[in-house]
């Protein structure tokens, strides 16, 4: 199927051609016809499947048809998303697909002065892309009125839950018109998210392009069992492989991200951190430096990394194992996007063993163990104890033969450098972050 077969209007087809789009992804092929009919939609899709275009394209077409003789004064579509990075990315998509249409959109998020955002709202917008905190703030101040809303999109709903924003989402939903089209997307569907979907959707169509909680098929995964004190040395060792052109490294905490950057700099590896304590300008600068190749490594917390869309990202490295197993799915989904292949490596220490077991249980996958490195953890065999039947890891070298063949030949002398691990968060869901 091509986009020409989806009954899209000429201005949108022209914009898609400019973007180099010819064939819709499965989520786009299934979602766009339903949405053009005005139906509610419940979509379960991983990151990197093209879901932003799956809702942005039909929204633009529906609003364009309804735009004749109407001003931009009243907001017709609200897209609610958990992080500023994802909000910015969605805004860029609407700008690209709607470049030939007379529709306005703006993006609002916290962490920056509100002046430019309120000015855009006062000028009038058709499409508002927002994070929950800033949206509720500006609604309270009287800058935003949603009484004329006709389309509501809740994107990355499971991440809203992880970040503690579900109560804010419910506050927003309570202020929306009852008569509206609702589009609900989530990469995973835990019970709390399914319950939320049931309360805000009306006779929705269901679209799922991958099983819930599955990981990208084109991502080659492996796990390194290593003592916490040796993780710093292992990361420098892995990144010494120049075949790794780009790597997105995940930590649990903001302090941990900054610490990893400092450690990498000591090893002459250019890296920058992106997390909630960074200013918006600093975060965008770091992301730009990474995308344009001025740095090889971007170190990020989960909250900051959600929405990062980097073409041809080759590697994701879990420097610390996430406590919430669904987060693992989101992390490795940063690579292997849009049909490309990718590699995900995870560093697991003794304190993280149970978290790793939970990931194996969730994904129901056999993830190879890479012990061909200078710091294998002596007790790493314990990860095979008490695992669910047929879901244990397979203890064999990582299939990334190019990586192993190059690094296994190296001679190493001296002991491992002393590193510092990060303390485990006290509880889930994650505390509300300053991003919003």
Q: Are 254 and 328 part of one and the same domain?
A: yes
In a domain, 368, yes or no: yes
Same domain, 54 and 79: yes
Long-range Cβ contact pairs of 114-122 (< 8 A, separation 24 or more): 114/138, 118/143
Write out pLDDT tens, residues 262-286. 999 999 999 999 887 887 778 888 8
Share of the chain above pLDDT 70, in %: 79
Helix (H, G, I), strand (E, B) or coil at 430: coil
Rounded to whole angstroms, how far apart are CA atoms 132 and 435? 10
* 3 state DSSP class of 170: helix
Residues 251, 204 within the same domain: no
Q: What would the DSSP string read from start to end of 84-118?
A: HHHHHHHHHHHHHHTTTS---EEEE-SSS-SHHHH
Q: Kindly tell me if the per-residue pLDDT of 382 is higher than 80.
A: no
Residue 204 in any domain: the answer is yes
Confirm if 161 and 429 have CB atoms less than 8 A apart: yes
Greater confidence (57 vs 288) lies with 57
Q: Are 189 and 318 in a shared domain?
A: no
Which among 328, 276, 333, 334 is positioned nearest to 304, based on CA atoms? 276
In order, the DSSP letters of 277-316 are TS-HHHHHHHHHHHHTTS-SEEEEEHHHHTT---TT--EE
Q: What whole-number distance in Å separates Cα of residue 245 and Cα of residue 233?
A: 19
| pLDDT of 427 | 39
Same domain, residue pair 106 and 244: no
Mean pLDDT value across residues 331-347:
79
Instruction: Say whether pLDDT at 142 is over 90.
Output: yes
Give mean pLDDT, residues 230-237. 96
306: its two tokens: 């959600």
State residue 48's pLDDT score. Answer: 67
Q: What is the model's pLDDT at position 86?
A: 87
pLDDT at position 217, please? 63
- Residue of 387 and 369 predicted with greater confidence: 369
User: Taking 90 as the threshold, does the pLDDT of residue 377 lie above it?
Assistant: no
The whole-number pLDDT of residue 305 equals 59
Share of the chain above pLDDT 90, in %: 55
Lowest mean pLDDT among 16-20, 58-62, 118-122: 16-20
Structural domain contains residue 8: yes
Supply angle C-alpha 37, 41, 44, rounded to 5: 140
Chosen domain end from 180, 208, 236: 208
Average pLDDT over residues 219-230: 94
CA terminus-to-terminus distance, the chain: 39
In terms of average pLDDT, the best of 97-101, 281-285, 300-304 is 97-101
**412 found inside a domain:** no
Give the DSSP letter string of 324-372.
Answer: SHHHHHHHHTTSS-TT--EEEEEEE-GGGHHHHHHHHHHHT--PPB---
Last residue of a domain, one of 176, 208, 240: 208
Range of the domain at 161: 3-208
Please give the pLDDT value at position 206.
95
Give tens-digit pLDDT for 166-176: 899 999 999 99
Distance between CA 45 and CA 35 in Å, rounded?
A: 16
Listed residues 166, 181, 208: the one ending a domain: 208
Q: Nearest to residue 34, comparing CAs of 246, 209, 218, 182?
A: 182
Regarding whether 333 and 313 lie in a shared domain, the answer is yes
Q: What is the mean pLDDT of residues 220-227?
A: 94
- The pLDDT value recorded for residue 151 is 97
Residue 41's DSSP bridge partners are 183, 205
**3-class SS of residue 62:** helix
**What's the token pair of residue 273?**
């951190």
List Cα–Cα distances, 244 to 235, 240, 294, 418, in angstroms: 12, 8, 14, 24
| Sign of the dihedral through C-alpha 265, 268, 274, 280 | positive
- 25-29, 83-87, 157-161, 332-336 — most confident range: 25-29
Residue 429 covered by a domain: no
Other residues' Cβ atoms within 10 Å of the Cβ of residue 148: 11
pLDDT of residue 313: 84
Residue pair 422/320 in contact by the 8 Å Cβ criterion: yes
Whether 161 and 178 have beta carbons less than 8 Å apart is answered as: no
- Which range among 11-15, 364-368, 411-415 shows the weakest confidence by mean pLDDT? 411-415
Within this chain, do residues 223 and 194 fall inside the same structural domain, yes or no?
A: no
> CATH code at 291?
3.40.50.300
pLDDT of residue 154: 96
Statement to judge: residues 184 and 226 lie in one domain: no
What's the confidence (pLDDT) of residue 87? 92
Q: Which residues pair with 302 in a beta bridge?
A: none
227 shares its domain with 176: no
Supply the pLDDT for residue 391.
39
Residues 196 and 244 in one domain: no
Looking at the 3D structure of the chain, how many domains does it have?
Answer: 2
- Residue 398: per-residue pLDDT: 34
pLDDT bin (cut points 50, 70, 90) of residue 215 is low
418 in a structural domain: no
359 within some domain: yes
pLDDT value for 67: 67
* Judgement on whether residues 196 and 223 belong to the same structural domain of the protein: no
| 208 band by pLDDT with thresholds 50, 70 and 90 | confident
Three-class secondary structure of residue 412 per DSSP: coil
Q: Is residue 422 part of a domain?
A: no
- Place 55 in a pLDDT band, splitting at 50, 70 and 90: very high
Cβ distance 30 to 1 under 8 Å? no
Region 199-205 average pLDDT: 95
Q: Is the pLDDT of residue 431 over 60?
A: no
**Higher-scoring residue by pLDDT: 247, 49:** 247
Q: Are residues 326 and 393 in the same domain?
A: yes
Q: Calculate mean pLDDT across residues 292-320.
A: 82
Quick check: helix, strand or coil at residue 375? coil
3-state SS class at 202: coil
pLDDT band at 409 (very low <50, low <70, confident <90, very high): very low
Averaged pLDDT for residues 1-29: 92
The pLDDT, as a whole number, for residue 168 is 93
- Does 429 sit behind a cis peptide bond, omega within 30 degrees of 0 on the bond before it? yes
């Amino acid at each position: 199927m091509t986009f020409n077969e989806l009954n899209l209007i000429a201005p949108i087809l022209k914009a898609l051609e400019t973007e180099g789009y010819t064939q819709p992804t499965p989520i786009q092929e299934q979602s766009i016809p339903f949405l053009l009919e005005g139906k509610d939609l419940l979509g379960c899709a991983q990151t990197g499947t093209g879901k932003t275009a799956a809702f942005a394209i039909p929204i633009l077409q529906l609003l364009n048809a309804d735009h004749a003789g109407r001003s931009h004064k009243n907001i017709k579509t609200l897209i609610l998303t958990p992080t500023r990075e994802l909000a910015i990315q969605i805004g860029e998509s609407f700008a690209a697909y709607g470049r030939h249409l007379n529709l306005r959109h703006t993006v609002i998020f916290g962490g920056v002065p509100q002046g430019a955002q309120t000015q855009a709202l006062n000028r009038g917008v058709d499409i508002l892309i927002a994070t929950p905190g800033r949206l509720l703030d500006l609604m309270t101040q009287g800058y935003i009125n949603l009484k004329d809303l006709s389309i509501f999109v809740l994107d990355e709903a499971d991440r809203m839950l992880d970040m503690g924003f579900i109560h804010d989402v419910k506050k927003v939903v309570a202020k929306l018109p009852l008569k509206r089209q609702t589009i609900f997307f989530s990469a995973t569907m835990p019970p709390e998210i399914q319950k939320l979907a049931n309360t805000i959707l009306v006779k929705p169509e269901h679209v799922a392009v991958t099983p819930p909680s599955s990981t990208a098929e084109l991502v080659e995964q492996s796990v390194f069992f290593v003592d916490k004190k040796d993780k710093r040395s292992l990361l420098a060792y892995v990144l010494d492989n120049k075949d790794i052109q780009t790597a997105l490294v995940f930590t649990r905490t903001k302090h941990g991200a900054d610490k990893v950057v400092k450690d990498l700099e000591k090893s002459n590896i250019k890296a920058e951190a992106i997390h909630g304590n960074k200013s918006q300008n600093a975060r965008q600068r770091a992301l730009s430096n990474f995308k344009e190749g001025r740095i090889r490594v971007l170190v990020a917390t989960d909250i900051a990394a959600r929405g990062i869309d980097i073409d041809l990202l080759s590697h994701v490295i879990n420097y610390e194992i996430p406590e919430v197993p669904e987060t693992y799915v989101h992390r490795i989904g940063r690579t292997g996007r849009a049909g490309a292949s990718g590699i995900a490596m995870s560093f697991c220490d003794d304190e993280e063993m149970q978290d790793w077991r939970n990931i194996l249980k969730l994904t129901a996958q056999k993830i190879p163990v890479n012990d061909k490195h200078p710091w294998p953890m002596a007790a790493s065999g314990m990860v095979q104890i008490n695992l669910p039947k047929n879901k244990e890891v397979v203890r064999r070298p990582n299939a990334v033969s190019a990586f192993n063949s190059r690094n296994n030949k190296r001679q190493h002398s001296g002991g491992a450098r002393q590193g510092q691990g990060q303390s485990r968060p006290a509880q889930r869901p994650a505390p509300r972050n300053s991003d919003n």
